[in-house]
Amino acid sequence: MATITSTGLGSGLDVSGIVTKLVAAERLAADTRNDKKEAVDNAKITAFGSFKGALSDFKNSLSALSQSSSFQKITADSSDSSVISASALSVADVDSYQMEVKNLAQSHALASGAYADPTTVVGTGTLTINFGTTTYDPNTQVYGGFTQNAAKSSLSLTIDSSNNTLTGIRDAINNANAGVSASILNDGTGNRLVLKSVDSGVKNSLQIKVTETGAAGLSDLAFDGSNPKMTQTQTAKDALVNINGLDVTSSSNTVSSALKGVTLNLLQAQAGKSVTVNIARNNDDLNAAISSFVDKYNALISTVNSVSGYDASTKTAGVLLGDAVVQSGMSQVRSALTNAVDGASSGLQTLSDVGISLQKDGTLKFDNAKFNTAQAADIDGVTALFAVLGRSTDNNVQYISSTKDTKAGSYAVTLTQAATQGTLQGGTISFPLTVDASNNSLAIKVNGLQSGTVTLTQQAYASGADLANEIQARINADSTLKANNLTVGVSYDTSNSRLVISSKTYGSTSQVEITQGSATLGLSAALGTAGVDVAGTIDGVAGVGNGQFLMSASGDSKGLKLLIDDATLGSRGTVDFSRGIIDRLSSTLDNLLSSNGSISSRTSGLQKDIDTIAKARSVLNERMTQYQARLLSQFNAMDAIIGSMQATSNFLTQQLAANNNANNN
């Protein structure tokens, strides 16, 4: 039978209350110790979170200063943006220019005769559209001649029963997306096919040649020397702008080659009107980025003071006061911030040289005027102080990039071999030369990629230049080569009376091969001479060449990549490379903020302490449960004994009372 225990019944004591208080007293010291340790650890974790957040915010402010382009922004301002607008790159020269727009560029436009309906059948055959310079008198409609633009590919379209209407021809031209647009215009007398060169300028006018395969009709769209059937509705013109007294022509109204790094947009021709274009440095964005950099650093200092400083007025200390992780981390940040930059300009090696000074309280102060003065005097020096930068003493040796292995320093560059293009030289030919059905097909490999069949226009060519232009345009129009951005240059070597075909790329992978040729053109099937990669040394160590790019493979300059833009052999000066304060700070902050960094390790340790406290609490709870059970057992036993004794006492009392009564009786 189960025993029913009721504590305190025998003794009358509050056994449950006594046991509870004894257990509470037993665990008080351990609970106090654990609670205090846990509170401190949690406070430290929170403080480290604030510290880490402030470091992260400071690191985010570095990105706007990490690129050299941020320090060399240029603005272009026009006194009359309705006539000329302008934009500038960082390489532009700071100056002021007087400009006059005398003439705007315009595209060549042609119109066909009138057709009753857009669905009218025109004819079948081959429509070939070439781009070049046309000599044509619109008044007399006399076609004087045409010179092919070798830089532009021709367009050949097959017109058959599927596209032989006015609408079909329009769509075929537009779908080719090859530099000419087509539309149908009803001028009241009928529907006319209107063709317009997409690119403006005299070198981009249209020549339209037609080879008919059916009934006459398609030839009505011809515009060439033998058959100018279409009407010229707009003459191709170059733009003409006078810059500081010099006339500059351009095929486009966007002029980007007249002034280094400056693009001019010609909007109105106003002869006699002078427009001022000012090219100046734009420091607004940079100054804002510097201010943000300083503000974020000062916010970091404020956070550090809050979590690890001591307030003498209130006699309170931050929870991380004296913490080695905070002290070491901030020491690293200050060192990266204030130490001189290797490879920087001799006059600009620290932030204080450009107006960013460290104050007694540990914060930074930004002197905007001093910074602007330093930038105006030595923009490259300011850039090198902050950003990763390579500066070459040779204008034809360009710094391209570097790796984390590249150390700051000045590196001598020597060129032992210039990069070349793959070239194929043809056999001897003479002019005039006729291209007909027997010799108008070629096929070529460029850098190992096979073209389709290249079909030349059948006609008599008066000079090697004319034939070279035709071949270049046709090869570069090949769809396979175009899809892979491969082009060739074709020229005529007058000294040796032969055609020369060159790949536009440089290096050992650059090669030209005729796979289907024509002996009458001097272009029999043959493999040309492959190009070679640039070769030379950087810092006295042989570099790795790839086309025109030379890269250092070892030593302090390892990873430094340069572009050698000419063929001059021998010493090519030096490249001064600096990593800049921002790169150094980024590396320092990355290490501090990484998952394996000191802050993460410290907070992980604190979290382990908290986990250990939780386990200790669990053990303590188990021990106190056992302790409580033991106390209850002991008190219950005591209570039972007292109860038994109380029962005996009561019995004896009753017996004595009974005896007394008996005696009295």
pLDDT tens per residue, range 392-406:
999 999 999 999 999
Question: Which pLDDT belongs to residue 400?
Answer: 93
Percent of the chain whose predicted confidence (pLDDT) is above 90: 64
Question: Which pLDDT belongs to residue 3?
Answer: 41
- Mean pLDDT (whole number) for 477-505: 94
More confident residue, 144 or 259: 259
Could you give phi then psi for residue 290, rounded to 5 degrees?
-65, -45
Question: Which pLDDT belongs to residue 4?
Answer: 41
Question: Which pLDDT belongs to residue 519?
Answer: 93
Both tokens of 485, joined, read 């951005």
Question: Which pLDDT belongs to residue 500?
Answer: 97
Nearest to 132 by CA among 493, 465, 504: 465
**CA distance linking residue 291 with residue 622, whole number of Å:** 59
Nearest to 105 by CA among 255, 259, 207, 262: 255
- Mean pLDDT (whole number) for 522-536: 96
Single-letter amino acid, residue 228: P
Kindly report which listed range (160-164, 586-590, 639-643) carries the lowest average pLDDT score: 639-643
Contact 180, 155 (CB under 8 A): yes
- Mean pLDDT (whole number) for 568-576: 95
Query: How crowded is the C-beta side of 505, counted as CA atoms within 13 Å?
Result: 19
Q: Which residue has the tokens 């300028």?
A: 201
pLDDT tens string 214-223: 888 999 999 9
What is the DSSP code (8-state) at residue 406? P
**CA distance linking residue 92 with residue 120, whole number of Å:** 55
Mean pLDDT of the chain: 91
Question: Which pLDDT belongs to residue 657?
Answer: 82
Residue 66: pLDDT over 90? no
pLDDT tens string 108-119: 999 999 999 999
- Going by DSSP bridges, is the β-strand pair 488-493/498-506 parallel, antiparallel, or unpaired? antiparallel
Question: Which pLDDT belongs to residue 589?
Answer: 94
Q: Taking every pair of C-alpha atoms in the chain, what is the biggest distance, in angstroms? A: 171
pLDDT band at 127 (very low <50, low <70, confident <90, very high): very high
pLDDT tens string 1-46: 344 445 555 566 787 888 889 888 888 888 888 889 888 889 899 9
Residue 306: pLDDT over 60? yes
**CA distance linking residue 425 with residue 154, whole number of Å:** 23
CB neighbour class for 322 (10 Å; exposed up to 12, middle 13-18, buried from 19): exposed
Instruction: Give the predicted TM-score (pTM) of the model.
Output: 0.73
Residue-by-residue DSSP string for 320-379 = TTT-HHHHHHHHHHHHHHHSPPTTS-TT--SGGGGTEEE-TTS-EEE-HHHHHHHHHH-H
Alpha-helical (H) ranges within 197-323 are: 284-308
Kindly report which listed range (8-17, 122-131, 464-473) carries the lowest average pLDDT score: 8-17
- Mean pLDDT (whole number) for 313-325: 90
What is the DSSP code (8-state) at residue 233? E
Question: Which pLDDT belongs to residue 8?
Answer: 54
**CA distance linking residue 454 with residue 474, whole number of Å:** 6
Q: Which residue has the tokens 């940079």?
A: 286
- Mean pLDDT (whole number) for 430-447: 94
Ramachandran class of 109: left when φ > 0, alpha when ψ lies in -120 to 50, beta otherwise: beta
Nearest to 476 by CA among 447, 497, 441, 446: 446
Nearest to 650 by CA among 75, 143, 10, 27: 10
- Mean pLDDT (whole number) for 296-323: 91
Q: Which domains does the chain have, with CATH numbers?
A: 74-105+240-281 (no CATH), 109-237 (no CATH), 397-419+534-578 (no CATH), 421-527 (2.60.40)
Both tokens of 504, joined, read 């536009």
pLDDT band at 154 (very low <50, low <70, confident <90, very high): confident
Question: Which pLDDT belongs to residue 9?
Answer: 52
More confident residue, 48 or 646: 48
Question: Which pLDDT belongs to residue 2?
Answer: 42
Kindly report which listed range (142-146, 334-338, 466-470, 582-586) carries the lowest average pLDDT score: 142-146
Residue 142: pLDDT over 80? yes
- Mean pLDDT (whole number) for 226-249: 92
Pairs from 188-191 (Cβ < 8 Å, separation ≥ 24): 189/114, 190/113, 190/114, 190/115, 190/116, 191/114, 191/115, 191/116, 191/117, 191/118, 191/120, 191/166
Question: Which pLDDT belongs to residue 345?
Answer: 66
Contact partners, residue 222, CB within 8 Å, separation at least 6: 208, 209, 210, 228, 229, 230
- Going by DSSP bridges, is the β-strand pair 74-78/275-281 parallel, antiparallel, or unpaired? antiparallel
- The helix (run of H) or strand (run of E) holding residue 165 is none
Distances (CA, A) of 374 to 65, 347, 349, 385, 581: 16, 10, 12, 11, 16
Single-letter amino acid, residue 89: L
Nearest to 364 by CA among 430, 301, 315: 301
What is the DSSP code (8-state) at residue 395? T
pLDDT tens string 162-202: 999 999 999 999 999 889 999 999 999 999 999 999 999 99
Pairs from 61-65 (Cβ < 8 Å, separation ≥ 24): 61/289, 61/292, 61/293, 61/295, 61/296, 61/297, 62/293, 62/582, 62/585, 62/586, 62/589, 64/285, 64/289, 64/292, 64/293, 65/289, 65/290, 65/293, 65/386, 65/387, 65/582
